Amino acid sequence: MIPASNEESWIDILTFVEEFPETEHWIRWRSIISPVLHRAIDAGYNKLFRVGSSMHHILISTLDHHGLRGEPHVTLKVTEDSRIGIYYSRSNIHFKSASNEEIVDPELAFPVLTRYLQHLWTETQDEPIPAILRRKNTA
């Protein structure tokens, strides 16, 4: 079932992540990505952005519908060396390079994600950046 709201999409993605197999690889993957998703929800980003997945990548957009069709979005990817890749693009990062990307240690991912989401907001919305996204989320 396709989530009707931004908030529902975040609940769905957390459920999706928790349902990954209980293997060493997926336990490690989940332990890296889940804290970033929970921190984003705690910051209120689930009210502003829709989240989804493409295989094992997490995709975040300002769209009001399910499914990307070439629109700008942010992708989160767990790398082989247990870091987090954060990408700004209009397409699947497997097929076309992102216009911006950073690979960071998991503890640095949230501030970088916040910066990428600020950029996404300014590129896709006519409204000023909301206060919850403007504040410094580096602690």
Q: In the prediction, which pLDDT does 71 show?
A: 79
Q: In the prediction, which pLDDT does 134 show?
A: 86
Spell out the long-range contacts of 99-108 with Cβ–Cβ below 8 A and sequence spacing 24 or more: 103/79, 106/32, 106/35, 106/36, 106/82
Tens of pLDDT, residue by residue, the chain (139 residues): 666 789 999 999 999 899 888 989 899 999 999 999 999 999 999 999 999 888 788 999 987 766 667 679 999 999 999 999 999 987 777 777 777 899 999 999 999 999 999 999 999 999 999 999 987 554 4
Exposure string of 82-105, with b = 16+ CB inside 10 Å and e = fewer, is ebbbbbbbebebeeeebeeebebe
Encoded tokens for 88: 């700004």
Q: In the prediction, which pLDDT does 59 show?
A: 93
Q: In the prediction, which pLDDT does 66 show?
A: 65
Indicate the domain borders of the chain: 6-134
